[in-house]
Structure 1
Amino acid sequence: MLITTLGTVVVNVFFLALFGKDNPLVWFVFLLSVLYLIFTFRFFRVPNRPNQDLPPNELVCPADGKVVVIEKVQYAGAEHTQVSIFMSPLNVHINWYPIDGVVAESTYKPGKFLVAWHPKSSELNEKHELVMQTTGGHIGLKQIAGAVARRIVNYAEPASQVKRGDEMGFIKFGSRVDVLLPTHAEVLVNLGQKVTGNQTVLARL
């Protein structure tokens, strides 16, 4: 963020020195710079969301956004329930671990950059995929890049113990997170529902 701010200041100083303060172009560049900084600071905001006192078998949503998929899929050789959350560029883009557990696998997979709500984006797009071992069984988590979001940051270390509400990573500028649940899980969100990361209860194992 410091580099972005300094870069914006340098650009404005350059235009001011080149054209003078009375030139409309200087004020136009200044206005664009202010709007850009507001958007950038809003996008990279880190909200203070204390962990809730929930039963250990309940999962919270790993991201802000809208539930766009609830369906049965084949995953890791078995049937799972997939719940997908689409994050628009206006949503908070931090991702949280939805439940306590151990990171069994952490894998980056290159791929395409289809729009994040595309039915095939879960399968074809670039992603970072986690498998977690929990007391209620294995769950899968996919951070999926979209047409605009082309950088995924993931903090997971294989074999590490993580807690519900810990920061899992970050996806830049519009994207999607898939949660793959065992079939015995009770899904507690609805298709089209707007959810809040680390607050809305997603499912119960």
Structure 2
Amino acid sequence: MKIPIRSECLPYALILSFLSIIFYFLNKYIAILMLILLAFVLFFFRDPERTIPFDEKSFLSPADGKVIDICEIEENEFFKSKAIKVSIFLSLFNIHVNRSPISGKVTYKKYRPGKYLPAFKSHASEINEKNIIGIENEYTKVLVSQITGFVARRIVCWSKIGDTLKQGERFGLIKFGSCTEIIMPIDTEIKVKIGDTVKGGLTVIGVIK
């Protein structure tokens, strides 16, 4: 089965390919190391096709990873009320493409520069580099935060305000280890628990009551 590779890997792949050729004539052990790193980069940027289980009453996971926190928050910019947040940690071995939890229009977008603490730290959400998009439809709305980690230092978001996304549609990615948060209305019925493994565009995180 063919697994698509994101084009964002191209600069890293070209550099590692060039280095592997150069070191082939200088030091074959280093050349092998460059080839191993190249294989990892291709593995990291994989982006397999998925059949999305469309459900207008459900919030699908925006990322692959592990649920590390579920909590109630006061969200003052988009919801302007209490909301519930589910944090998902993405290891270096997870697929790092982000997908829309619902179908709807992008009505909010905000980028915040910040630090690069390990993404699994509880306070990383407050001080790390972050990109946030808000999506709305006739039934509900949702925020998704892309947060960098210790290794990940580059957020990619292809969507802009006014764009319409389908449920499960790709809207961005985070390079090399990160955290993704999904913030939903406070009355959402949560279907996951801390420690669960989730898949972007497949796992139901919550259900609209």
1:103-141 Cα distance to aligned partner (Å, 9 max, x none): 111111111212111111112211001112123323211
d(CA) in 2 for partners of 1:146, 1:16: 33
- Whether contact under 8 Å (2:20, 2:35) holds in the other structure is no
Q: Match for residue 31 of structure 1?
A: 32
d(CA) in 1 for partners of 2:197, 2:70: 14
Amino acid at match of 2:143: G
Asked whether 1:48 is paired with 2:49, we answer yes
The alpha-carbon distance between structure 1 residues 122 and 2, as it changes in their structure 2 partners (threshold 3 A), is: closer
Q: Match for residue 20 of structure 2?
A: 12
Alpha-carbon deviation of 1:198? Answer: 1.0
Q: Match for residue 23 of structure 1?
A: none
Scaled by the length of structure 2, the TM-score of the pair is 0.88
Q: Match for residue 122 of structure 1?
A: 125
d(CA) in 1 for partners of 2:100, 2:185: 17
Q: 1:204 aligns with which of 165, 183, 207?
A: 207
Q: Match for residue 183 of structure 2?
A: 180
The alpha-carbon distance between structure 1 residues 119 and 13, as it changes in their structure 2 partners (threshold 3 A), is: closer
d(CA) in 2 for partners of 1:129, 1:28: 42
Q: 1:137 aligns with which of 140, 155, 160?
A: 140
- Whether contact under 8 Å (2:189, 2:206) holds in the other structure is yes
The alpha-carbon distance between structure 1 residues 159 and 33, as it changes in their structure 2 partners (threshold 3 A), is: same
- Whether contact under 8 Å (1:58, 1:203) holds in the other structure is yes
Structure 1 stretches lacking a partner, 5+ long: 20-25
Structure 2 stretches lacking a partner, 5+ long: 1-8
- Whether contact under 8 Å (2:68, 2:120) holds in the other structure is yes
Q: Match for residue 57 of structure 1?
A: 57
- Size of the aligned set, in residue pairs, is 197
Amino acid at match of 1:63: A
d(CA) in 1 for partners of 2:100, 2:199: 13
- Whether contact under 8 Å (2:102, 2:135) holds in the other structure is no
Alpha-carbon deviation of 1:177? Answer: 0.7
Amino acid at match of 1:57: K
Q: Match for residue 3 of structure 2?
A: none
1:151-174 Cα distance to aligned partner (Å, 9 max, x none): 000011102211101111000011
Q: 1:89 aligns with which of 87, 92, 115?
A: 92
The alpha-carbon distance between structure 1 residues 6 and 138, as it changes in their structure 2 partners (threshold 3 A), is: closer
Give me the CA root mean square deviation. Answer: 1.5
Q: Match for residue 82 of structure 2?
A: 79
- Whether contact under 8 Å (1:57, 1:135) holds in the other structure is no
Amino acid at match of 2:33: L
The structure having more radius of gyration, on CA atoms, is 1
1:30-86 Cα distance to aligned partner (Å, 9 max, x none): 22022111100000001111222x321111111000000101011123110000100
Scaled by the length of structure 1, the TM-score of the pair is 0.90
The alpha-carbon distance between structure 1 residues 6 and 118, as it changes in their structure 2 partners (threshold 3 A), is: closer
Q: Match for residue 6 of structure 2?
A: none
Q: Which runs of 4+ in 1 moved over 2 A?
A: 1-17, 134-138
Q: Match for residue 197 of structure 2?
A: 194
